Amino acid sequence: MELVDMKEAMFYESLGDQDVRCDLCAHHCKIQEGQRGICNVRENQGGTLNTLVYGRTISQHVDPVEKKPLLHFYPGSRAFSIATPGCNFRCQWCQNAGISQMPRERQMIMGSEASPEKIVETALDQGCKSIAYTYTEPTIFFEYAYDTAQIAQERGLKNIFVTNGYMTEKALKKIEPYLDAANVDLKGFKNDFYRKYVGAKLEPVLENLKTIKKLDIWLEVTTLVIPELNDSDQELRNAAKFIAEELGEETPWHISGFYPAYQMQDVPPTSPERLRNAYQIGKEEGLKHIYNRQVREGSDTHCAGCGETLIDRQGYLITENRIEGTDSCPNCGESIPGVGMTG
């Protein structure tokens, strides 16, 4: 069922002659009357910018928080994950393109009605610790996420953004009082890569990563390593160096292996050797917690001091947690960064 009910959007200004500029994300789309922005879910109707996806979920699932991925945020807990259609990026490898690109490619906005109150009630009924705004880009359904996050906080739930990090600073600071954690995709470390394969710029992502850290929102970073496109030693080193120096050596870095999808069916999967190479580069740049589920023990949390395995995982399942009830390594006393790590 196609749903196109509208609600006035946040973060826009009138430019006269019924034109508006959207200031939700770094695209800053100038939108003429009757037209939509790059995300295809914000429409100018008579000089009023409306969001077309408020309360319209295309996906609802209960996930391990590790699947977001967040490995230093209430490990072992459950996150109620929601999404609406649409995205402000055009990643050529998107594994969720069927819903993220639906409004653009199929000129459709589908979903099921679910009020913010209903989302929170469902999350509580399912025994979840948090709500994750994920699968597509939460920035494009900001108003829905914002209202839901406020109610969630009042009811004792945490809020998580799994995001491309392209929101404006004013949007980020608006959600900050209610946002507990974020996993941000750092898709590469060259502006040309972002422009060609994503349809965006690198610099706003870097600035938002720094802002998220300064706002004391728990932050983890993910980089999808794509053969021959963003996997050179220098580009990986630059990304790892930025994380270590600007975000802190304790910031978890998730190295993700590419799998052929969407418009990149002819690109081979990332080899285990390239993933191990990225891991080694991250270590050389001083990062203390690097993860990759595609290699052996790549999901385990180790002590940065002595190397002891502290949280043993099989896929997304925790099989042993040696720091439950404490905030340090039982072997050497090293403090373990994160939120809710002690259970």
Same domain, yes or no, for 69 and 36?
no
Structure confidence by residue, pLDDT tens digits, 31-83? 999 999 999 999 999 999 999 999 999 999 999 999 999 999 999 999 999 99
Same domain, yes or no, for 74 and 94?
yes
- DSSP state, 245? I
Same domain, yes or no, for 26 and 72?
no
Closest CA to 78 of 179, 160, 162, 196: 160
Same domain, yes or no, for 47 and 66?
no
8 Å CB contact between 291 and 260: no
What is the token pair recorded at 106? Answer: 């199929």
Same domain, yes or no, for 14 and 136?
no
DSSP secondary structure string, 265-321?
TTSPPPPHHHHHHHHHHHHHTT-S-EE-TTSTTTT-EE-TTT--EEEEEETTEEEEE
Q: Is residue 329 part of a domain?
A: no
Same domain, yes or no, for 35 and 164?
no
Q: Is residue 334 part of a domain?
A: no
Confidence band of 4 (pLDDT split at 50, 70, 90)? very low
How many domains does the chain contain in total?
2
296 pLDDT higher than 80 = no
Q: Is residue 12 part of a domain?
A: yes
Which CATH number do you get for residue 310?
3.20.20.70
Same domain, yes or no, for 30 and 120?
no
- Cα–Cα distance list, 241 to 105, 179, 283 (Å): 37, 26, 10
Same domain, yes or no, for 174 and 248?
yes
Mean pLDDT, residues 263-269 taken together: 97
Structure confidence by residue, pLDDT tens digits, 177-198? 999 999 999 999 999 999 999 9
Same domain, yes or no, for 159 and 44?
no
Same domain, yes or no, for 208 and 305?
yes
Structure confidence by residue, pLDDT tens digits, 198-255? 999 999 999 999 999 999 999 999 999 999 999 999 999 999 999 999 999 999 999 9
Q: Which domain holds residue 42?
A: 7-51
Rounded Cα distance, 192 and 208, in Å = 19
Same domain, yes or no, for 157 and 298?
yes
What is residue 294's predicted lDDT score, i.e. its pLDDT? Answer: 79
Same domain, yes or no, for 45 and 71?
no
